[in-house]
Copies of this chain bind each other. A is one copy, B any other.
Amino acid sequence: MTDFDSATPIYLQLAERIQRQIVRGDLKPGEKLPSVRDMGVQSGVNPNTVQRTYRELEAMGIVETRRGQGTFVSENPEVLQTLRESLKRAEISRFVEGMKAMGFSDAEIIAGLKDHLTEAEGRYEDD
């Protein structure tokens, strides 16, 4: 699950994965993350690297660490809302970039997306 050959450092990959888990609801506000050691084992990564990830997430306000107790998902609902928006933008941005790189126009992207959603699950009302 972790790409050691990627250009983006492992600690950021891990951070993003955790962010997704939070947005997805797999990690709920107030919930404890695995200890740096456990997460290290799970991810096949050095505990120091996990700690770097947790530190980064804490700097973003997404997570709070309590000495001797562990690292916990922030309970601030605003943070979660912001995170959700941020991930949405990131994902869309990545998608559009990829499509453009393959030569698809804005119109094709939108049309293709609508087709996909319509086929998959019935009606979709346009604005």
Binding site for B on A (CB under 8 A): 1-5, 20, 23-25, 59, 84, 87-89, 91-93, 95-96, 98-99, 101-104, 106, 108-114, 116-117, 120-121, 124, 126-127
Please give, as numbers and ranges, the residues of chain B lying within 8 Å of A24 by CB-CB distance.
101-103
Please give, as numbers and ranges, the residues of chain B lying within 8 Å of A3 by CB-CB distance.
3, 5
How many copies of this protein are present in the complex?
4
A92 touching B113, Cβ below 8 Å: yes
Please give, as numbers and ranges, the residues of chain B lying within 8 Å of A120 by CB-CB distance.
96
Q: Which of B84, B112, B127 meets A92, CB within 8 Å?
A: B112
A89 touching B116, Cβ below 8 Å: yes
A112 touching B88, Cβ below 8 Å: yes
